[in-house]
Copies of this chain bind each other. A is one copy, B any other.
Amino acid sequence: MISQTEENYLKVLYNLTSLKGEASVNDISKQLDIKMPTVNSMMKRLAEKKLVVYESYKPLKLSVEGKKLAALIIRKHRLTEMYLVEKMGFGWENVHNIAEQIEHIQAPEFFDKMDELLGFPKVDPHGSPIPDADGNIASDNYLKLSDCKVGESVTFMAVQPSSEDLLKFLTSRELSLGLELKIKQIEPFDGSMVISYANKENEMLSSKVCDKLLVSKKSKKK
Interface residues of A (CB under 8 A from B): 84, 87-90, 94, 97-98, 101-102, 105-107, 109-110, 113-114, 117
- Contact partner of A88 among B97, B101, B105, B113, CB < 8 A? B113
A113 touches B97 (CB 8 A): no
Contacts of A106 in B (CB 8 A): 101
Q: A83 — nearest CB in chain B belongs to which residue?
A: B88
- Contact partner of A109 among B94, B101, B105, CB < 8 A? B94
Q: A105 — nearest CB in chain B belongs to which residue?
A: B101
B107 touches A105 (CB 8 A): no
A89 touches B113 (CB 8 A): yes
CB distance from A200 to the nearest CB of B (A): 30
CB distance from A77 to the nearest CB of B (A): 14
CB distance from A2 to the nearest CB of B (A): 15
Query: By CB atoms of chain B within 10 A, which of A98, A107, A114 has the most?
Result: A107
Query: By CB atoms of chain B within 10 A, which of A84, A88, A94 has the most?
Result: A88
CB distance from A82 to the nearest CB of B (A): 14
Nearest first, the 3 closest Cβ-Cβ pairs linking A and B are A98-B107, A101-B105, A98-B110
When chains A and B are docked, how far (Å) is the Cα of A89 from the Cα of B115? 13
The contact sample of 20 A-B pairs, CB cut-off 8 A, is A84-B110, A87-B87, A88-B113, A88-B114, A88-B117, A89-B113, A89-B117, A90-B109, A90-B113, A94-B109, A97-B107, A98-B105, A98-B107, A98-B109, A98-B110, A101-B105, A101-B106, A101-B107, A102-B102, A102-B105
Contacts of A101 in B (CB 8 A): 105-107
When chains A and B are docked, how far (Å) is the Cα of A105 from the Cα of B98? 8
When chains A and B are docked, how far (Å) is the Cα of A190 from the Cα of B109? 39
When chains A and B are docked, how far (Å) is the Cα of A105 from the Cα of B89? 18
